């Protein structure tokens, strides 16, 4: 059983998706208002993903939230110099490097840190000098954890989507991989984060992951919010994590 208290970061991308459905012609939903409700409900961080195609979060959202949010901002972004410049200008508390393909509906897997090692090490070093911490969104692979430590990451965030969707023996296999990868991350002084596809049921399970200190959850919370409201949905996720 994990003994660490697990903090919740709430990803509000899909609140922005609802706004962008009408081409950003509406003032609602107001992201900063949602952030304040999330904070009051016990959320500890706001996660936003500025995608290349700007399908949900927009540049002005990054500027506005980094200036006005009462919670730290975790900016998910591709390993690109365009995104690095935006991060350096707006100074989020965290940058989370993620893989990105224009044609995907949502992030399909973890970042191959080995493949982008030179670029991500350079960018991480630049961010570190500006006191911006870096996490890498990876599969629960020992090789990827090692590569993340070598590149200078402060944390790794395990892509939990495959684990969430798998069943039976496969689910147990992926869980074992996450446990082993978490143990290695801890030995290498990396914070252990997790996210993708986590719902009420899987929050009850993920809390048992050794060394886990943070989860970032978006889609399920926004969906639950349609019935419960953002504050109650946030509180329910936190209750399941305890």
Residue 104 clears pLDDT 70, i.e. is over it? no
- Residue identified by tokens 């984060």 is 193
Estimate to the nearest angstrom the gap between the alpha carbon of 87 and the chain centroid.
Answer: 15
Residue 27 confidence (pLDDT): 87
Tell me the average pLDDT of the chain. Answer: 95
Residue 2 confidence (pLDDT): 42
CB 192 within 8 A of CB 185: yes
- Residue identified by tokens 């706004």 is 19
Predicted confidence (pLDDT) per residue in 146-198, tens digit: 999 999 999 999 999 999 999 999 999 999 999 999 999 999 999 999 999 99
Q: Residues 70-99: what's their mean pLDDT?
A: 97
Of these residues, 14, 76, 100, 202, which one is catalytic? 76
CA dist 236 → 43, 219, 230 (Å): 11, 14, 10
pTM score, two decimals? 0.94
- State yes or no: is 240 an active-site residue: no
The CATH classification of domain 7-241, taken from the options 3.20.20.70, 3.40.50.1100, 1.10.3720.10, 3.40.50.150? 3.20.20.70
Residue 105 confidence (pLDDT): 54
Domain boundaries, the chain: 7-241
3-state secondary structure of 104: coil
- State yes or no: is 219 an active-site residue: no
Strands (DSSP E) found in 68-171: 73-77, 94-97, 133-138, 155-159
Taken as a whole, the chain contains a residue count of 242
Of these residues, 56, 159, 193, 196, which one is catalytic? 196
Predicted confidence (pLDDT) per residue in 30-53, tens digit: 999 999 999 999 999 999 999 999
Predicted confidence (pLDDT) per residue in 61-79, tens digit: 999 999 999 999 999 999 9
Helix-helix angle 219-228:13-20, to 10 degrees: 70
Residue 3 confidence (pLDDT): 58
Q: Which of 106, 104, 99, 103 is nearest to 144 (CA)?
A: 99
- State yes or no: is 49 an active-site residue: yes
Indicate the pLDDT class of residue 1, thresholds 50, 70 and 90.
very low
Distance from C-alpha of 122 to C-alpha of 68, rounded to nearest angstrom? 29
């Amino acid at each position: 059983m994990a003994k660490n208290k697990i903090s919740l970061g709430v990803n509000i991308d899909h609140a922005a998706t609802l706004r962008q459905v009408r081409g950003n012609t509406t003032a609602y939903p107001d992201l900063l208002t949602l952030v304040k409700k999330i904070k009051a409900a016990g959320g500890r961080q706001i996660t936003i993903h500025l995608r290349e195609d700007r399908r949900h979060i927009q540049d002005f959202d990054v500027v506005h939230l980094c200036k006005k949010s009462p919670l730290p901002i975790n900016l998910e972004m591709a390993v690109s110099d365009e995104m690095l410049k935006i991060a350096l200008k707006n100074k989020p508390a965290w940058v989370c490097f993620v893989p990105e393909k224009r044609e995907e509906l949502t992030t399909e897997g973890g970042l191959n840190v080995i493949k982008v090692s030179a670029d991500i090490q350079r960018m991480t070093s630049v961010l570190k000098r500006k006191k911006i911490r870096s996490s890498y969104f990876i599969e629960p692979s020992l090789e990827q954890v090692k590569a993340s430590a070598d590149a200078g990451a402060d944390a790794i965030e395990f892509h939990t989507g495959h684990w969430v969707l798998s069943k039976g023996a496969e689910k147990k296999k992926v869980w074992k991989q996450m446990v082993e990868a978490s143990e290695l991350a801890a030995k290498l002084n990396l914070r252990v984060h997790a996210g993708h596809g986590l719902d009420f049921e899987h929050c009850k399970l993920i809390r048992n992951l050794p060394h886990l200190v943070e989860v970032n959850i978006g889609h399920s919370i926004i969906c639950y919010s349609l019935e419960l409201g953002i504050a109650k949905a946030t509180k329910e996720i936190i209750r399941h994590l305890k």
